[in-house]
Chains A and B, each alone.
Chain A
């Protein structure tokens, strides 16, 4: 609680969120507050609900009970609130999900033109700025299939940034990458974090968590089990399940 009293304005608030897939209880009374500029790393064993949690924040998943407020918009079934939240929250997926029939540049200007109603010239200028920032500006005319996985994921980050979001959600952004490409994507994310972007990252990259996270949140069986600053979390995990999880992860690295 004390933690949420300090820092910037409340960006994302989840209160008593409940989510079921049929009989499966995917999120159990989840409470989470993320303030502006905070960087959260969400980890836990597979099936623990971490991806589900961040997918609820931009309404890719609907919840059955509880409340989610993002940047002042209370997510309910009104399309207006959903639209407002999606305009302000960017998302990066495990499988990149670039649009294969559009060039890198076209991928980046589609939503700014249609959703934010930018002119093509403005959208292209913004896109080139962010493509340069993820160091892929010279590939703007290529198609996604012509890029490596790491390059595709950096384009996906740029595409999300082109909407000028207030917060970014990362859903295991490096899990589908060959090992030699993980670093280029993590470096991009570290750069973003340094620039003060509000971020929630589902990831198993514990080095990244150590380096940039303000808080590490550990989930198991649909619940937030432990929530701590990275130092405490890694040195002295409080919960038996976090200890077991860290043991597994570190054994593999």
Chain B
């Protein structure tokens, strides 16, 4: 068997746009997951029974079912409710909800690691519970769990590949198309593997840079 990477090389414009698609899904998914994570923890902290129960139920459902099933569910269930979204938006929604459930768990751990004295100091100064969470507890909590959150977001970046199942436009779907046209399976998937590796490393580096900027105060 002779290897022929020229077919892959010739398809570079398609691969590049696939990379863009993957990065769009990953970045939007992370942003949505982050919002869901912080809001979810804020709701849990408010200690109202029904909203807390809903958040907990959401987290448990997402964490105990496969992502592939979740994305199919959203893709086929929403139209039944009269909501039509294109595959890219659906994929971002699925990634955000899935990542958000894990983010809630991680951020909650961070919030619990912040001493009660911080909250009491805020309350004693006359701030309300919401302000205490937003202005005092949140940032140190995020700093404490930022490494775990980053690994979760790398995982989310790799999970974008599953979005090919609802034909969202991203790197894996582009690869599958090239494979179907050229029958060069090994070359295509070897190339995808390398590209995903590079995407992960870049994501890791970007997340570390963001963390360094956002949490640049000394701890001890």
Contact = CB atoms under 8 A, between A and B. Distances in A.
Interface string A130-168: 000000000000010110000000001001100100000
A93 interface: yes
A114 B127 contact: yes
Contact of B126 (A87, A100, A102): A87
B124 A115 contact: no
Contacts of A83: 126
B125 to A, nearest CB: 4
Interface of B is mostly: helix
A76 interface: no
Nearest to B125: A111
A111 B121 CA distance: 10
Contact of A114 (B120, B121, B131): B131
B181 interface: no
Contact of B123 (A86, A101, A110, A145): A86
Nearest to A87: B126
A145 B126 contact: no
B135 A110 contact: yes
A126 to B, nearest CB: 14
Categorize the interface residue count of chain A: 20 to 34
Contacts of B190: none
Given A100-B140, A101-B139, A95 B127 contact: no
A90 B123 CA distance: 10
A198 interface: no
Interface stretch (B52-60, B197-205, B212-220): B212-220
Contact of A99 (B118, B124, B143): B118
B82 interface: no
B125 A160 contact: yes
A159 B120 contact: no
A116 to B, nearest CB: 8
A174 interface: no
Given A93-B120, A95-B117, A115 B217 contact: no
Contacts of B217: 100-102, 143, 145
Interface string B27-52: 00000000000000000000000000
A201 interface: no
A188 to B, nearest CB: 18
Contact of A145 (B120, B121, B136, B218): B218
A242 interface: no
A93 B119 CA distance: 12
A146 B218 contact: yes
A110 B126 CA distance: 10
Q: Which of A90, A99, A146 has the most CB of B within 10 A?
A: A99
Contacts of A116: 126
B115 interface: yes
A86 B140 contact: no
Interface in A53-106: 58, 60, 83, 86-87, 89-91, 93, 95, 97-102
Contacts of B125: 86, 90, 110-111, 115, 159-160, 163
14 contacts: A86-B123, A86-B124, A86-B125, A89-B124, A91-B121, A97-B115, A97-B118, A99-B118, A115-B125, A143-B218, A145-B217, A146-B218, A160-B124, A160-B125
Interface of B: 115, 117-118, 120-127, 131, 135-136, 139-140, 143, 215, 217-220
Given A90-B124, A97-B117, A115-B126, 11 more contacts: A58-B124, A60-B120, A86-B124, A99-B140, A110-B127, A111-B126, A143-B217, A145-B219, A145-B220, A156-B121, A163-B125
